[in-house]
């Protein structure tokens, strides 16, 4: 409820008049007022919100103010592309961050740990759009290996789909992987200093077995928390990357709708993202119970 109110009010704070944008800036004020009345924008904000939420709970987000196309269908068309990009980027970030985080933790204080930390700091301090432009210059302009923009569905042509997906996914994944790596390193170091880890080593268990079976599994819970937050960040934070690579997802659609002052599309898109983020966090909470037996036993006692 609170999220929907914030979404509704924040959109109204964006400068500009959608009615004026729709009819043109040279149109007479009478025509602008007529369009504003037809769109219901002349009503008080509480009335507009009640009407919007009354339709939204029934799955009706209205029609685009610009092209009069049903908003629900527009979001349904764009949303799969954003989810596809977010999942691929998260998987790529995880495949990069876990090995680097484990190595950095095991080599803490050494040269390897220092090099990994410097590389992570560089990518964390580099804006996504700059990395994306750099990738386009290298792999599209100079090497001509990858297309600079667009999207091809996987079922249509898997190889071409992968070629269009790889650069935007890497652009999103690298900074997130570096942040995850630092968190994995810190979490694993904390677990490696626990008494039961020293006991396991004293029993003669190999270092690999201690790390994989005992240390890493117990460090997973805070790591999964970060993964869930990062997935929500990917869904909502791919706006610049989608625009840069011409990726036809929800983020690019939101940028265009904000530019055009299309309240209906912007509100629906943001509400979708907020709702999905809530469900992702719920899934993370359920994973806690699966990974940690202590939580399962506590839940059964209650």
Per-residue pLDDT of the chain (302 residues; tens, 9 = 90+): 677 777 777 777 766 666 766 666 677 777 777 877 777 777 777 887 787 777 777 777 777 777 778 888 888 888 888 888 888 898 998 899 888 988 888 888 888 889 998 998 888 888 888 888 999 999 989 988 888 888 888 778 888 888 899 999 999 889 888 888 888 888 888 877 777 777 767 776 666 667 766 676 667 777 777 777 777 777 766 778 888 888 888 888 888 887 777 778 888 887 877 777 778 778 777 776 776 655 555 544 44
CATH superfamily membership of 79-301: MetI-like (1.10.3720.10)
Tokens of residue 15, six digits: 């400068």
Chain mean position to CA 214: 31
Tokens of residue 5, six digits: 């109110």
Spatial contact of 26 and 227, defined as CB atoms under 8 Å apart: no
Residue burial 18-40, b: 16+ Cβ < 10 Å; e: rest: bbbbbbeeeeeeeebeebbeebe
State phi, psi for 25 to the nearest 5 degrees. -75, -10
- Tell me the whole-structure pTM to 2 decimals: 0.76
Helices (H), 66-212: 71-106, 111-124, 128-135, 158-192, 195-202, 207-209
Extents of the domains making up the chain: 2-56, 79-301
Tokens of residue 116, six digits: 């990994």
Distances in Å between the Cα of 235 and the Cα atoms of 74, 218, 273 are 17, 28, 7
State phi, psi for 98 to the nearest 5 degrees. -65, -50
Q: Residue 208: enclosing H or E segment and its boundaries? A: helix 207-209
DSSP state of 108: T
């Amino acid at each position: 409820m609170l999220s929907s109110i914030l979404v509704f009010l924040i959109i109204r704070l964006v400068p500009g008049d959608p009615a004026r944008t729709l009819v043109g800036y040279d149109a007479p004020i009478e025509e602008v007022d007529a369009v504003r009345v037809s769109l219901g924008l002349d009503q008080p904000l509480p009335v507009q919100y009640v009407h919007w939420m009354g339709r939204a709970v029934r799955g009706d987000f209205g029609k685009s103010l610009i092209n009069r196309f049903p908003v629900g269908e527009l979001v349904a068309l764009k949303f799969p592309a954003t989810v596809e990009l977010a999942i691929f980027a998260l998987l790529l970030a995880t495949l990069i961050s876990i090995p680097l985080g484990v190595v950095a933790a095991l080599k803490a204080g050494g040269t390897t740990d220092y090099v990994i930390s410097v590389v992570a700091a560089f990518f964390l301090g580099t804006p996504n759009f700059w990395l994306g432009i750099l990738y386009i210059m290298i792999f599209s302009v100079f090497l001509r290996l990858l297309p600079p923009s667009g999207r091809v569905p996987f079922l249509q042509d898997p190889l071409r789909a992968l070629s269009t997906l790889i650069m935007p996914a890497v652009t999103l994944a690298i900074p997130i992987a570096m942040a995850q790596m630092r968190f994995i390193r810190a979490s694993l170091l904390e677990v490696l200093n626990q008494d039961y880890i020293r006991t396991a080593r004293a029993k003669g268990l190999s270092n690999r077995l201690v790390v994989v079976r005992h240390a890493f599994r117990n460090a997973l819970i805070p790591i999964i928390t970060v993964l869930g937050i990062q997935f929500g960040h990917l869904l909502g934070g791919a706006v610049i990357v989608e625009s840069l690579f011409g990726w036809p997802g929800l983020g690019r659609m939101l940028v265009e709708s904000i530019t055009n002052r299309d309240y209906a599309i912007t509100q629906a898109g943001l509400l979708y993202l907020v709702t999905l983020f809530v469900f992702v966090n719920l899934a993370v909470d359920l994973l806690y119970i699966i990974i940690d037996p202590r939580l399962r036993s506590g839940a059964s006692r209650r």
